[in-house]
Amino acid sequence: MEFRHKMKPLADQLLHYLLKSLNIPGELVQIWAESTDKVSGTIQLNSYPPCPDPRHVLGLAPHTDTLLLTLLNQCQISGLQYFRDDIGWISVPPVPGAFVVNVGDTLEILSNGKFPSAYHRVTVNENKHRISYAYFHGPSMDSPAEPLDKAEKPLYRSMTVREYCAIKAKHNEEALGLVKL
Ligand code: OGA
Ligand code: NI
């Protein structure tokens, strides 16, 4: 509870700055920033035991996170990798005292693709047990998941966050492509 209590204002503030940097009216930024008020973020604890043959096993399959922002503590053992179109999979070394911040699918939709959600996976370690913990920051399920800047041609169709989560649960990594216009 203490962790959640501290993470929420941090995630709220980050979201506020990210939304503010888009070309949308201040009131809308406020409404959106407040839309996370009623919900408490989800915390996920991940445990990756050592694996004798790490080349053939993944700790977590490639995915994007569904909600707005994820704040992740890697606990000093590397394993997290991001996919970059130009390079392929790259490792993200843990930085003491720092959180990794992922943009999730919902923020990609709100920003009309300006903040692409991060495609990532986790590898395992031959002799070290890795632990990580993530705080998933999301709006209420009834919030609209649609591009906020109405002056732009929307690249995603309008739906609620609940509807998008249902599409994601069914179609996994195909979900974003399915809601693109
Ligand atoms: C996740 C995730 C990464 C990690 O929980 O969604 O991507 O390093 N975790 O455990
Ligand atoms: Ni993830």
Cβ of 132 closer than 6 Å to ligand 1, yes or no, is yes
Integer Cα distance of 101 and 117 in angstroms: 11
C-alpha 152 to ligand 1 mean position (Å):
33
Integer Cα distance of 155 and 134 in angstroms: 29
pLDDT more than 90, % of the chain: 73
| Catalytic-labelled residue, pool 4, 130, 157, 162 | 130
**Residue whose pair of structure tokens reads 């990580």 in the numeric block:** 132
Cβ of 105 closer than 6 Å to ligand 1, yes or no, is no
Which residues of the chain fall short of a pLDDT of 70?
Answer: 33, 36-38, 40
Other C-beta atoms closer than 10 Å to the C-beta of 109 total 28
Q: Which residues lie closer than 8 Å to 14 by C-beta, 6 or more apart? A: 69, 101
121 included as an active-site residue: no
Cβ of 65 closer than 6 Å to ligand 1, yes or no, is yes
> Maximum Cα–Cα distance for the chain, whole Å?
54
pLDDT at 25: 80
